[in-house]
Amino acid sequence: MLSKNKYQPAKDTFNRRIDYLRISITDKCNLKCIYCTPGKALKHISAREILTDEEIIRFVRIARKQGLRKVRLTGGEPLMRHNIIDLIGSIKKTGVRDISLTTNGLMLSGRAEELKQAGLARVNISLDTLDDEKYKAIAGGGDIALVWKSIRAAESAGLSPVKINVVPIRGVNDDEIESFASLTFENNFHIRFIEFMPAVSGGLWSRDKYIDSVQIMEKIASLGALEPLTFRGSGPSRNYRFKGAKGVIGIISPLSDHFCRHCNRLRLTSDGKIRPCLFSSHTIDIKTPMRQGITDEELDRLFLEAVYSKPEGHRLNDGQWSSSPIQSMSEIGG
């Protein structure tokens, strides 16, 4: 059994503890959400270019020795990776304490229990509307009833608290902000409102569609007084609760009130590139060196190179709204 304190997290050049890795395990998805996929036809990465289970586990094992404590699996839609149960189990065996998953919920309901047994702790489920027809329009298909079935299955399996991610977009679903917030009165959900981030996704993103965190909070506050909550950890969400409510409301504001000074994460793309910052084009390829026979010591140096190259913050608030390096959120995993 690995000691909790055996490995201390590596620190970047701004003294931030980097102990969280988001891993995109596939670029494939069974939806085409309007803010995620590009307007043009998405060309998927070939299967041979996707990191194998063994490559992912090897990198996680190296990162674990540098203090990695949390792993989140993303996609695309991560449940489309056929061997995800074995992958989660193998990550758990490396000693990583906290494994979570972000999903659209369409494939979760029948697998929630085995995911929990494999070592998964929690799920974040993306849901941007409570309306059946609007759901199909935003997601490019799917069935909202399956998402709700998955939410209840996740609760039953102990993948809790269930976090529901909502991206408010003006003129699309901003009229539902209060309805989502109201869900917390009777349900132990964490409803997380995430500011719409600029990405090259069919040209959808624009300033007039963007709703900042202050405007989101104004709508939520119309339902009643909110009390701020303090959670352990260094997550990006500022959290609140209505008096007497079972659930929690979170506000994630990467643009209007960014959390860069507390950012503790790296991202690993499905084709094997470490991305130190979501909004930076700088990446470090680990797949090619691994397939060329790199040693663990050299792989360790690449991990630390990613940590030390993490920028102080993104530049989007310096007037660079239109120059986001993100071509498609579906290829990065958010």
The pLDDT tens digits for 88-111 are: 999 999 999 999 999 999 999 999
Express as a percent the part of the chain with pLDDT over 70.
Answer: 87
Q: What is the pTM assigned to this prediction? A: 0.92
Rounded Cα gap, residues 177 and 229, in angstroms: 20
Query: Residue 112: is its pLDDT beyond 80?
Result: yes
Check if the beta carbon of residue 327 is closer than 8 Å to that of residue 202: no
84 backbone dihedrals φ, ψ, rounded to 5°? -65, -30
Check if the beta carbon of residue 78 is closer than 8 Å to that of residue 22: no
pLDDT in the model for residue 41: 61
Query: Residue 319: is its pLDDT beyond 60?
Result: no
Q: Name the pLDDT band for 27 (thresholds 50, 70, 90).
A: very high
DSSP classification of residue 134: H
Q: Name the pLDDT band for 48 (thresholds 50, 70, 90).
A: very high
pLDDT in the model for residue 3: 44
- DSSP β-bridge partners for residue 239: 229, 250
Strands (E) across the chain are located at 10-11, 17-18, 20-24, 70-74, 98-103, 122-126, 163-166, 190-194, 226-229, 238-242, 248-252, 265-268, 273-275, 284-285
222-251: average pLDDT? 89
pLDDT in the model for residue 245: 97
233-248: average pLDDT? 89
Query: Residue 331: is its pLDDT beyond 70?
Result: no
Rounded Cα gap, residues 278 and 332, in angstroms: 8
Query: Residue 232: is its pLDDT beyond 70?
Result: no
Lowest mean pLDDT among 229-233, 259-263, 296-300, 318-322: 318-322
pLDDT tens profile 257-316: 767 888 999 999 999 999 999 888 899 999 999 999 999 999 999 999 999 999 998 766
pLDDT in the model for residue 278: 85
Domains of the chain plus CATH, in order, are 17-332 (3.20.20.70)
pLDDT in the model for residue 317: 58
pLDDT in the model for residue 36: 78
Angstrom distances, CA of residue 310 to CA of 13, 17, 118, 173, 279: 8, 11, 32, 34, 11
Query: Residue 321: is its pLDDT beyond 50?
Result: no
